[in-house]
Amino acid sequence: MTAISKILYRPVSSASTAFFRILFGLIICIAMLRFIFKGWVYDFYVKPIFYFTFYGFEWVKPLPEWAIYSLFWLMTLIGIFIALGFLYRISIILFFLIFTYIELIDVTNYLNHYYLVSLLSFLMIFLPLNSNYALDNSIGISQKRLSIPFWAVIALRLQIGVVYFFGGISKIKYDWLIEAQPLKIWLSANSHLPIIGPLFDQEWVAYLFSWGGMLFDLFIPFLLVYKRTRLAGFILVIVFHILTALLFPIGMFPWVMTLCVIIFFPTQWHEKVLSRFFSPKLIQSPPVVQKINTSPLIIGLLTIFFLIQCIMPFRYLLYPGNLLWTEQGYRFSWNIMLIEKRAHIEFLAIDKATGKATIILPEKYLTKQQRLTMSTQPDMILQFAHFIRDKYYEKGMKNIEVKAECYVTLNGGKGRLLINPNVNLAEQQEGCRNKSWITEYNN
Amino acid sequence: MATRNNYPAKIILVKVVFFLLLVSINSSCKKPENAALTAFNNFNRSGMLTNIGNNIIIPSYTAFTQKADSLYWATERFTANPTAGTLDTLQHQWLQANFAWKSCELFDFGPAYNNGNNNNIQMSFLVNSTFIEETINKTPVPYDSTFIPKQNLNLDIRGISALEYLLFDPVNGNTTILSNYTANSAASSQRLNYLLGLAQDIHTNAHSILTAWAPSGGNYIQTFISANGNDQNSSIGFLVNQIVAFADYIKNDKIGDPLGEQNNSLTNPACSTCVETFYSNHAFASITTNYQSINNVFFGIGNNGVKGLGFDSLLNVLNSTVGSELLSKAVQGKMDTINIEINAFNVPLQQAVTSDASQVTTLFNSSKQLLVLLKIDMVNSLGVILTTTDNDGD
């Protein structure tokens, strides 16, 4: 016990976490500007007339257009504040709240990496990241400290490591390893690239990437922690993320992960780099070497925080059937790039009194992005069915059945019905219980 | 410090990479070669594209261009001398041009799409008649025959659908149509000019597409044949995307909307004015021609009737099946069913949606089943990614 607490409370250079804070702030700033200028704020949070909610968060509603845009501009500004270490604590709390609110508006926009941003910003609330290289030191909001307890660095490393490690665990699946799917489909779409293009028509390349990706994800946190493999690990990180950025349309997250990994570097390294950028005066101003008192409450809270993250990826075991097919317990589990699904879906509304039926095309109510996402995910299909039910309900038609005919192919498999087309979805409950109306996936 | 660390790091890097390679190669060697990927790579995709491009697409555009020429000449003759006889000829030429276009409608990619020619010729089969009348009667607007491109006229009041509205009257017939042009008033002369302008615009756009495709012109055919991968911007990607989108469009807009299946009212009022060619009343023939063009591309059947390499050939070497049946056979079966169902109607679609609603519903369901075969099974077998969304990760 004392050995553990000795490690946790070992004083290390505060440059390390300051370095991370600066990168994180800049990334946020760029990411938010990118979101605004790509028109995504409008596409995702203004244009839709219906939003898919997270179970338990149905009360989260989108704000009017001007307010949503203001929040994105505010987050851009907060990004700069965080990088500068200006009003750090309030900035990071605000960022966590706003960003998480935005992510909770519509399930459609769920991405593992946005979830990571929420987790990271929550974690950062409890870390003394403004101990050094921060405006807060100059204006007297927080005292400048040359050293911080090691647990603050460990927490950040753990958070990044969790993503890779559980990402690796989730790749230990039949489709990924034995069929090399969906990489076979995705890589062959790159066969038009110059020079390396023809490689992607080769089957062994898909297997190389699948197995390589799995092993990379599983072992990279350990390679990065261990001093003698750290450089090799970082080179692998760069190669891996450059490849993913090149081959898949996954935006800026390869770069985000690459930058985050720098927290694994020795703390002296961060100090060396930062001291080059900042005037010596800033560094040599009288430091306080006193220990930061860490409340055991915070350590306890963070332990629970990480324990939950270790359990979440395995909750799918509580559900019958193939995880990739049913997607029950799929989100918040670091299931990254495991699925290529195509679907065709139509809803049928039936008036039980007259037996009359009408086809509902989701196109009329959903944006393209929403429609594509919904058509392969049973819980979203159910939400949309309830939306249809409620529309009729408002018109005074209270006896409506809603059924869905949904053909899906998973990872190059044959097209088949995803859900039982005879089940009245209007009657089915949302929630975490097993959805028995999802069909079984037999190979 | 740094130099001490570099040496083992390099060694370890080499070891790790080597290990990854070894594991991956081992794993791929243990499994038999994936037949589908090899078959796709070995298939003569350029041959298929050459056949589809040279024997279907270019001949279809050539035929349409000829019909558009004839349409323009007939319009010139009619506007010079509007009589029952010249009107009759003009109507006949319009029908010919319309059906020729129904064979080209599928090819909404490449220059026809990029230059907006497709939309100029027909953006929608639904006509904005009020807006057309307003535009014609706007005074003083001197319409010469080239006013349409000059004024950048709205898409819903130009093209073959607008022309149809000006040439056919399903209620009052040709006498009324003719009287609109022979009144010797400002309105009638503007109407004549508008008519000629529309015909010339169609003719110009038709030639522009054909020139862009022709080896002697823009030579898009060369680009088309050489883009033989299966990515989103390959010709196979374009064709598959179009086949799926078009089959969806026929089902939803050309059959579903008139049937009232999609108006969310549960009272299902049919919409007889929602049919294609509402004024000339040839909806079924237009739909048949549309499906015929999908059929021809799918089976590689040239406009001369000769069968060459098509998607069926590719799907057969990929051994794509639905249940125990070859996918190509299943598509053939569904195409046949649709043809039989359409031919069984004794009345035009705009009547059938009320008088034979259940028969139209059957047709609607068949068109849905065909769509699922194409959108799910065909796309899946070809491994084409139709929709990559631009976002931030997974």
Structure confidence at residue A258 (pLDDT) = 95
What residues 41-100 of chain B have any CB closer than 8 A to a CB of chain A? 41
| Host H or E run for residue A407 | strand A400-410
Q: What are the pLDDT digits (tens) for B254-289?
A: 999 898 877 666 666 788 889 999 999 999 999 999
Structure confidence at residue B2 (pLDDT) = 36
Q: Which of A309, A307, A303, A369 is nearest to A334 (CA)?
A: A309
The whole-angstrom separation of Cα B272 and Cα B274 is: 5
Structure confidence at residue A250 (pLDDT) = 85
CB A247 within 8 A of CB A190: yes
B43 bridge partner residues: none
A57 bridge partner residues: none
Q: What is the DSSP string of A121-136?
A: HHHHHTS-TTSSS-HH
Structure tokens given for B222: 């060369």
Structure confidence at residue B31 (pLDDT) = 38
pLDDT tens by residue, chain A, 443 residues:
678 888 888 889 999 999 999 999 999 999 999 999 999 999 999 999 999 999 999 999 999 999 999 999 999 999 999 999 999 999 999 999 999 999 999 999 999 999 999 999 999 999 999 999 999 999 988 888 888 999 999 999 999 999 999 999 999 999 999 999 999 888 887 877 778 888 887 889 999 999 999 999 999 999 999 999 999 999 999 999 999 998 888 888 899 999 999 999 998 899 899 988 876 555 545 555 556 667 888 989 999 999 999 999 999 999 999 999 999 999 999 999 999 998 999 999 999 988 888 888 888 899 999 999 999 999 999 999 999 999 999 888 889 999 999 999 999 888 899 999 999 999 999 999 999 999 999 76
Structure confidence at residue B140 (pLDDT) = 56
Structure tokens given for A137: 């030191």
Residue with tokens 């939003």: A51
The whole-angstrom separation of Cα B81 and Cα A426 is: 64
A349 bridge partner residues: A358, A402
What residues 220-249 of chain A have any CB closer than 8 A to a CB of chain B? 223, 227-232, 235-236, 248-249
Structure confidence at residue B269 (pLDDT) = 76
Structure confidence at residue B26 (pLDDT) = 44
Structure confidence at residue B4 (pLDDT) = 41
How many CA atoms lie less than 13 Å away from B109 in the CB half-sphere? Answer: 21
The whole-angstrom separation of Cα B160 and Cα B93 is: 11
For residue A204, the tally of other CB atoms under 10 A from its CB is 17
What residues 311-330 of chain B have any CB closer than 8 A to a CB of chain A? 322
A336 touches chain B (CB under 8 A): yes
Q: What are phi and psi of A45, to 5 degrees?
A: -125, -5
Tell me the ipTM for this assembly: 0.77
Mean pLDDT of B141-156: 66
Mean pLDDT of B51-59: 97
> Are the Cβ atoms of A114 and B267 closer than 8 angstroms?
no
> Are the Cβ atoms of A361 and B371 closer than 8 angstroms?
no
Chain B contact set for A37 (CB, 8 A): none
Mean pLDDT of B155-181: 93
Q: Which of A364-378, B15-29, B130-144, B220-234 has the highest mean pLDDT?
A: A364-378
Mean pLDDT of B304-318: 94
Exposed/middle/buried for B134, CB within 10 Å: 0-12, 13-18, 19+? exposed
Torsion region of A40: left, alpha or beta (phi above 0 gives left; psi -120 to 50 gives alpha): alpha
Structure confidence at residue B33 (pLDDT) = 41
Q: Say whether A402 sits in a helix, a strand or coil.
A: strand
Closest approach of B391 to chain A, Cα-based (Å): 6
SS3 for chain B, per residue? CHHHHHHHHHHHHHHHHHHHHHHHHHHHHHCCCCHHHHHHHHCCHHHHHHHHHHHHHHHHHHHHHHHHHHHHHHHHHHHHCCCHHHHHHHHHHHHHHHHHHHCCCCCCCHHHHHCCHHHHHCCCCCCCHHHHHHHHHCCCCCCCCCHHHHHCCCHHHCHHHHHHHHHCCCCCHHHHHHHHHCCCCHHHHHHHHHHHHHHHHHHHHHHHHHHHHCCCCCCHHHHHHHCCCCCCCCHHHHHHHHHHHHHHHHHHHHHHHHHCCCCCCCCCCCCHHHCCCCCCCCHHHHHHHHHHHHHHHHHCECCCCCECCCHHHHHHHCCCEECCEEHHHHHHHHHHHHHHHHHCCCCCHHHHHHHCHHHHHHHHHHHHHHHHHHHHHHHHHHCCCCCCCCCCCC
CB A325 within 8 A of CB A441: yes
A359 bridge partner residues: A348
B266 touches chain A (CB under 8 A): yes
For residue A324, the tally of other CB atoms under 10 A from its CB is 23
Chain B contact set for A199 (CB, 8 A): none
Nearest to A249 among B9, B29, B388 (CB): B388
The answer to whether the pTM exceeds 0.90 is no
Closest approach of A407 to chain B, Cα-based (Å): 7
Q: What are the pLDDT digits (tens) for B196-216?
A: 989 999 999 999 999 999 999
Q: Which of B27, B148, B66 is nearest to A204 (CA)?
A: B27
User: Residue length, chain A?
Assistant: 443
Per-residue confidence at B141, pLDDT binned at 50, 70, 90?
A: low
Q: Which of A79, A64, A222 is nearest to A158 (CA)?
A: A222
> Are the Cβ atoms of B37 and A342 closer than 8 angstroms?
no
What spatial distance separates the first Cα and last Cα of chain B, rounded to whole Å?
A: 39
B391 touches chain A (CB under 8 A): yes
User: To the nearest 10°, the Cα dihedral for A72, A75, A77, A82?
Assistant: -160
How many CA atoms lie less than 13 Å away from A40 in the CB half-sphere? Answer: 19
Structure confidence at residue B24 (pLDDT) = 45
How many beta-carbon pairs under 8 angstroms link A with B?
182
- Chain A residue with Cα closest to B365: A359
CB B221 within 8 A of CB B214: yes
**DSSP 8-state class, residue A250:** -
